[in-house]
Each structure stands twice: as C-alpha cells, then as structure tokens.
Amino acid sequence: MIRVLLVDDHTILRRGLAQIISETQDLEVGGEADSGAQAIKLARAEHFDVVLLDISMPDRNGLDTLKQLKKEKPKLAVLMLSMHPEEHYAMRALKAGASGYLTKQSAPALLVTAIRQVASGRKYVSSELAEELARTVGDDAGRPRHETLSDREYETLRLMASGKTLTEIAVEMSLSVKTVSVYRARLLEKMQLKNNAELTYYALKHKLVE
C-alpha cells in the first residue's frame, strides 16, 4: 500500500484528491496538511511513500517546503501539484528535488499513474516537459534570462508582472517590503531590465503570468 501525504491549503481540493486516492486499491491517504510547516511536521513524525505537494501556500511556498523535505528525507518522493502551467514552475521543482510535476487540471487517472510512478523511485513528467528538459541539458547559452533567478526572485518577478505592489508581494511571500525591494533590484540587474514596465513586458512575452 502506497501511503500519501496530501498538502494543500484548499480543503475542497484535498477532499477531491483524497476521494480519488481512496478509490484506488493500492493507494491510501496517510495524512493531510494545509500548510508547509504542518507538512514538514507530519513527514518527521510518520512514514509516507509520496507527498503530494501544492506549490502555492500561505505560510511558505511549495518550493521552500520541498527543499526542506528533501533535506530531511532525501529518499521521500515528492510530487508537485500546481494550478500553474508546467513552464512556470516544473523545471525549478525538478531541480529542487521533486520526483514529478502535475497540474491541477490533469485527469484523475494521470494523478494515480504519477503517484505510482514516483513511489517506485522513477520521475514523472509530461512528454512536453521531457522534451524541454532534453533541450536544456548542456544548453546554458540558450537559457532564457528568468532561469538565472533564484526561486524567490522568480516569484517576485511573477507577482510584480501580475500587477501587485511591493507591499502586496511582501504579504503574499511573508517577507518585509525591504527584502522584496532587494529581490526586485537583483532580478532587474540579472535580467538587464530597467523598470517594472520592461519586467512586465518580458514576463508576458515569455508567458510567465496567466
């Protein structure tokens, strides 16, 4: 039996995922968490084969939670689940140690397949993402500029491009306005952009915001 830890701050979504898993003979929900901190606490206390982890959460985002889980339990399979398209976060998640990446729009059958696959020690990615991974191997010169950003800088970029103020970004990322300002300055420098208008144009052009 594959024990799954569900991590998502939306109760209705967790219930839906739990329903899909409970209807599958070789899977069971071993625990549920509505925050990154709670997920880490449960993973320390109990055994799970797979963590199904949402990327967007209120206390600490899924990528931070993923890094902490892999630091403490390197062999634990973590399958990232997100409302964001693959091109936004999948590569970052895999580089941070995720075993796979699945969008919330995926069919229930895909979810079950993905859980089984990562539980067996393999990776789960879509065919499109597999092509992207193959394309980027050893191709640093052709990497888009946003891939040089840290995860926090990248998140700042996306939120700024979606029209949020520094204060709103600080609240969403649980950081001070000063820290967000530092991230903004760094990402503008790294990407050789002059202002928010250029940043927004870049993000829209590369489909980094919905």
Mean of pLDDT values over 122-127: 84
Structure confidence by residue, pLDDT tens digits, 6-30: 999 999 989 999 999 999 999 999 9
Residue with tokens 């449960």: 42
DSSP state, residue 96: T
The answer to whether the beta carbons of residues 183 and 172 sit under 8 Å apart is no
Reduced to 3 states, what is the DSSP secondary structure of residue 80? strand
- Across the strands, what pairs with 27? 2
Structure confidence by residue, pLDDT tens digits, 22-78: 999 999 999 999 999 999 999 999 999 999 999 887 777 888 999 999 999 999 999
How many folded domains does the chain comprise?
2
Buried b (16+ CB within 10 A) or exposed e, 18-50: bebbeebeebebbbbbbbbebbbebbeeeebbb
- Across the strands, what pairs with 124? 100
- Rounded to two decimals, the pTM is 0.69
End-of-domain residue from the set 136, 152, 173: 136
Do 126 and 171 fall into the same domain?
no
Do 130 and 64 fall into the same domain?
yes
Do 52 and 127 fall into the same domain?
yes
Q: Is residue 83 predicted with pLDDT exceeding 60?
A: yes
Do 128 and 168 fall into the same domain?
no
Residue 158's domain spans which residues? 144-205
